[in-house]
Structure 1
């Protein structure tokens, strides 16, 4: 594994940064303490410009290379998840109900490591835009940063990102041209009937049979309404109603997530949800309201940048440790908004066995931080060679 020697030298420092971030997780757009820590490090490194408060707490730092050239964007996400940590680590979260269970602390440390190296060496032409983004976990911080004009404002021509991957061996890279992660949408179906005493159900309009029937009907969208070779996941993840054993409630609701790659499949799902709701409204004599929250689009790698990024990864870890045609994931990423705005690529970096992301016992593997930082650094030097 040919990590950059200088980055290897400050790997222990990267681990210290990461563990500080792990102890102090922040949620959504409110990554103010995290952003303050990041900004302090960037000032120490000597970035040429530091722009704070983008999308509330996001940062774009500019590092100038040697001579004129384009601008390449490197992105890390900073936010944590609203869940309790169960690792028992000595650097475990000190914030009740919040934890870095997806490795964004590690992503931030990797980009800081690359930033320190790039500020020291500046062995590239043009500029690097270091993007530290809040609110990836459902908030759409990537979309907000794009809407606030970071691509135009800083002249970013292409953009790249990495996510750690517990399912892959340590130090392996995995990417693919085209879609690599799915679009994500959420739906809520709220059913209103007429509650009453459970001993006299004939005097009520019970919402529970209607909502249970709709949960079952929604499952048939995947099994009966779409082509089996088209990727589609619909998961009903919530079902709520009732307060007592002897009370028929007035309201029940269910909700879940839709994962797709194809806009036509996505439109079909939305149409079938509307039809299921209309049919159950008539069949059960209840009022039914459907809400669809359209979320992140699919994460789509441009063909040229994906191949280029894979080649750079091979320099770092060897060709045998780079999968250029990885299987696309049904998870979602708001880096998709950045890739919709500019060509680029997204890669997974294997971190070995252990609990997966979003698990209360998950922890980022500090061993891969120098690998990710080396990839970012070499990517810049190969994309924009000095002289």
Structure 2
């Protein structure tokens, strides 16, 4: 495996100039969630035939995009590989498989941009009202470099590249890929991803076992009373005071319910009551998110919040309702994959880092179906610099090679355990 890794790394290095050019092309013409068809065609084409260095070919609107349902494509087969097979998945997504039949290790990259007006000033900045403000252009370019290099090698297992749509919004592309059954059909034994992260030192790559991202659920708190005139509160049941008490109580309710060594974050940034200063509303609402690192904490906190909402509302002569829209589960890295990948990263001379946060990623959705591993690749801006989703966030081109190294380490780790 070491000889394979050495040869693969050399081939990746040769692919990086073209991959960086592809990154610029993708960055200049992003599509938002659900409209990624041009990106899917471009990236799959780059894997099959190589990136074009003569200018962007991405076209089409950023808000809508057709879904291809035609037959799989087969690309030319460089010496040493089986042909690359491409199939459509999750509407605008693609699965690209190379290597031998039988078990495979998957590598995933997301395709969607965000509805953000770019403010980086880069010569390849987007001007279409969308932006790759979360590094998905970097992830895609790195994946192309890894897979194109792999096509010139004799792989011991298959490699399945998942070009996933709709990471940023629900219903997520990951859920649709899982529901399609294509990972099982390709006998994918592990799935690996890498994500740029400004809070990790530049050049560092994490390979932490266990939870590294939180679950996230959207919640609504609805307090219903009886509307009335501000001068006659005794003739109404004002829902605003109990809502305020609920909003202040909920963080303490969550804190008291869960072991402090396991984070839980409740955020309620949206509040609504009366539309006029002299009107007591009939209904007052709060909306936000609940995040947890463990599934048992997720369920417990929702139960405690529901009881607090109902009890505080009743004490004020109102009724309280707690509504939950379940989102992504916690992202839990497979321990064996993480440890093996860390060994490969040390072999490559990549600086080690550690990172976990209460952010979320739909990559977690793959976990119940296959072992998963998410690397975080440091871009080093730190807490005072532009963060993910910021209109100024722009990882350097060197990050393409660093993400590629993380994906390669994960594939090798998966192959060892398959």
Structure-2-length-normalised TM-score: 0.82
SS, match of residue 34 in structure 2: coil
- What are the residue-to-residue correspondences of 1:171-190 with 2, within 5 Å? 171-190=203-222
Distance 1:224 1:375, change over 3 A: closer
Distance 1:174 1:110, change over 3 A: same
Measure how far apart 1:173 and its partner are.
1.0
Match of 1:281 in 2: 313
Of the candidates 23, 26, 40, which is equivalent to residue 21 of structure 1?
A: 26
Match of 2:125 in 1: 92
Measure how far apart 1:373 and its partner are.
1.7
* Distance in 1 of aligned mates of 2:121 and 2:234: 53
CA contact (8 A) 1:124 1:381 kept: no
1:60 aligns with 2:95: yes
Measure how far apart 1:186 and its partner are.
1.9
Which residues of structure 2 form unaligned runs of 5+?
A: 1-5, 51-74, 76-82
SS, match of residue 368 in structure 2: helix
Larger displacement relative to structure 2 (153-162 or 339-348): 339-348
1:317 aligns with 2:316: no
Structure-1-length-normalised TM-score: 0.88
* Distance in 2 of aligned mates of 1:246 and 1:135: 44
SS, match of residue 73 in structure 1: strand
1:345 aligns with 2:381: no
After superposition, the C-alpha distances for 1:291-313 in whole angstroms (9 at most, x for unaligned) are 11121111112221111111222
Measure how far apart 1:50 and its partner are.
0.3
After superposition, the C-alpha distances for 1:135-187 in whole angstroms (9 at most, x for unaligned) are 22242321221111122121111111111111122221112122222222221
CA contact (8 A) 2:103 2:186 kept: no
Distance 1:195 1:100, change over 3 A: farther
- What are the residue-to-residue correspondences of 1:176-325 with 2, within 5 Å? 176-318=208-350, 321-323=351-353
* Distance in 2 of aligned mates of 1:92 and 1:266: 40
* Distance in 2 of aligned mates of 1:114 and 1:240: 49
Of the candidates 47, 50, 71, which is equivalent to residue 86 of structure 2?
A: 50
Which residues of structure 1 form unaligned runs of 5+?
A: none
Q: How many residues align?
A: 375
Match of 2:146 in 1: 114
SS, match of residue 357 in structure 2: coil
CA RMSD of aligned residues (A): 2.4
